[in-house]
Structure 1
Amino acid sequence: MVRVTKPWRVTRLRGDGSTRVRADILAGEEPLEVRLGGRPFNVTMRTPGHDFELVAGFLVSEGVVVDREQIRSMDYRAGIAAGGERDYNVVDVRLAEDVPLPDTYIERHVYTSSSCGVCGTASIETVRKTSQYAVSQDPLTVPLGVLLGLPDALRAEQSVFERTGGVHAAGLFVDGELVCLREDVGRHNAVDKVVGWALLEGRVPLTGTVLQVSGRASFELVQKAAMAGIPVLSAVSAPSALAVELGEELGLTVIGFNRGEMLNVYTRHDRVSGAGEERETGA
């Protein structure tokens, strides 16, 4: 049985030597195998829940699909678990007949940890994906005050984090309003769940949107945003150098250290309105 959370008894130790046994709630983490036409494609460690969105978003990130009509069906594998019940850790995807299988379909390693969204790729060349959407052309501008309010808006809706303190979150915002939030032990999974929701809702490409994430901005998250047509990625922590370089190349706005009072804009500063005149300071 898969669970979003799991209760566990823990022993709490204090510096004064006192102990206390209490109940704790842990974030669920289980493997999810993705199959294309019945054949293994990828295994990722994830927090159960919104699995079809996770799979759909992953397929967008991999460049396999760009439209919901390209996914003919998704379902959990049947008849494998005890008693012939569905196996909720295996999702089988049937693509439309005109959708080619990815080039790395045979070669792809089939394990991705919850901390890495590109670890399962078979070669360096397959890490980099090409988006069909020119995010550099997106005319979106976002007031500084709106951007600064996104972390608090995200945190207020993180129900699984509130119970466990152990998951990442990704939220999609339109005109400062949260339209979708997903949580997962893997930050890349949280983003894939948001993108998958958008694909299944027929909202991709996600022009005019901001993706706010609870952790750092990595190369993979910038790439996932670009693959979905998201022009602005904002993170509460630091971006990596490669993430910033990719954002610069693609014309995607990368924001880091957004913690409600100030933020750093690393690329495409023109998308942030309401800021004062730039002043050069020391490194």
Structure 2
Amino acid sequence: MTKLALSDEILMKIDKPARYIGNELNSVVKEKDTVDIRFVMCFPDVYEIGMSHLGIQILYDMLNKREDVWCERVYSPWPDLHAILKEENIPLFSLESQQPVKDADFLGITIQYEMCYTNILQILDLSQIPIEAADRTENDPILIGGGPCTYNPEPIAEFFDLFYMGEGEISYDALLDLYKKMKQEGASRKDFLHEAAKIPGIYVPSLYEVSYKEDGTIAGFEPVYEDVPRTVTKQIVTDMTQAVYPEKPIVPFIKATQDRVVLEIQRGCIRGCRFCQAGMVYRPTREKDVERLKNLRTRC
């Protein structure tokens, strides 16, 4: 069994220690020496909320189907553990390996709502990863931002190495294949980010110059290099019926906020209410075939 990052003494002190021990049913544990890429997926909120998020479950399943990738998870610790990690200088760790997040190749953070922006900084601080992308070195993980808030990335652009625009099923394989190839070639972090910017849906803030008007709105947006696309296109799954979907979702030891098995019947919405973020960012409306849903119902 994997050695826990926290001692029994600490686990007995904190609220709901099951948030931090991993080893849940259907979680994936691999030998880190047998994979080429370690990817830590983060929901920057408390465990119970993060475990309710379907998007991470989908990407977790998809990435772990690759033999060369180990996808793990991390969530924002509750204030009691936050204080202990700071006091005892324990770096934030992933659930599966119980190893420091800072040792991974990638840290992918899903940004579902603006209220979690400060939690992103908490994750970086507790992980002992430099807050600003410009201060990171070759030894730090590549920080990826994804989710709805990436459609307005500039308020947090200085903290991220790259943003993934759109649905992760489309371009993540290309991004990881590129990283694996360039890592084997001994390429630098800077060179990887330059090449990654050419993949559809990938926005690398350091490769663009953004100018602003007096009122703070964007006046101009220009790439630094000629071979970097001027427009970053949102990636969309066109065939929801054939899209990857976890048949063995992770089952937590404690009750999640949304404590149920989820079947995704569609993305997008036909109504288009202007106040609804999801109705806008997940356009166009796409539905799964009913027979596919019936099959998933019996397998999940």
Q: Same fold by TM (over 0.5)?
A: no
> What TM-score do the two structures reach when normalised by structure 1?
0.25
Counting helix residues as a fraction of each chain, which structure ranks higher? 2
> What TM-score do the two structures reach when normalised by structure 2?
0.24
